[in-house]
């Protein structure tokens, strides 16, 4: 038998420590950012949403992994992340919700200077963390 030499790369254990956002619409498309240590920019990064694999991108400056949530039925799923596409670490839970449907705004107009209270009428809104944007102002 002959001797074969090959380079060996030892990857550090992935240690996720934050994720945002933790919910999105069931149609998918939410960009989820995961802060983690121990991730290498190997080009093989992956996320899994309820075992559905998604290619991840790594921002080497912020050490944030970004994954786009695939479509999924409503409910809570686990998210896992991998720096090599083979060894996954559980990160957190992600909640898929119905896609919000806006029916109307009451009133549909207001003063240019602002200050008008607006009621948002529709369905599928989250119970907490809902924000409205008027131009560049978020409230």
Alpha-carbon distance of 64 to 36, in angstroms, equals 7
Sign of CA dihedral 32, 35, 38, 39: positive
Per-residue burial over 46-80, b = 16 or more CB atoms within 10 Å of its CB, e = otherwise:
bbbbeeeebebebeeeeebbebbbbebeeeebebb
Lowest mean pLDDT among 13-22, 27-36, 42-51: 13-22
Please tell me the predicted confidence (pLDDT) of residue 74.
93
The tens digit of pLDDT for each residue in 63-76 reads 788 999 999 999 99
- What pairing do the DSSP bridges indicate for beta strands 52-55 and 119-123? unpaired
Higher local confidence (pLDDT), 44 or 79: 79
Q: How far are the Cα atoms of 19, 81, 115 from residue 28, in angstroms, in the given order?
A: 17, 18, 34
The tens digit of pLDDT for each residue in 115-124 reads 889 998 998 7
Higher local confidence (pLDDT), 11 or 62: 62
Q: Which two tokens stand for residue 49?
A: 């949403």
Please tell me the predicted confidence (pLDDT) of residue 51.
94
pLDDT bracket for residue 41 (50, 70, 90) = low
SS3 130: coil
């Amino acid at each position: 038998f002959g001797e074969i030499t090959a380079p060996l790369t030892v990857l550090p254990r992935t240690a996720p420590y934050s994720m945002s956002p933790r919910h999105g619409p069931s149609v998918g498309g939410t960009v989820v950012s995961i802060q983690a240590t121990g991730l290498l920019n190997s080009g093989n990064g992956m996320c899994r949403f309820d075992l559905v694999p998604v290619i991840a991108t790594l921002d080497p400056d912020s050490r944030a992994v970004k994954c786009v949530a695939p479509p999924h039925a409503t409910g809570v799923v686990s998210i896992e992340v991998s720096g090599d596409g083979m060894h996954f670490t559980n990160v957190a839970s992600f909640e898929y919700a119905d896609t919000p449907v806006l029916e109307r705004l009451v009133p549909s107009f207001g003063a240019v200077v602002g200050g008008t209270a607006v009621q948002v009428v529709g369905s599928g809104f989250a119970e907490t963390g809902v924000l409205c944007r008027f131009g560049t102002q978020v409230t």
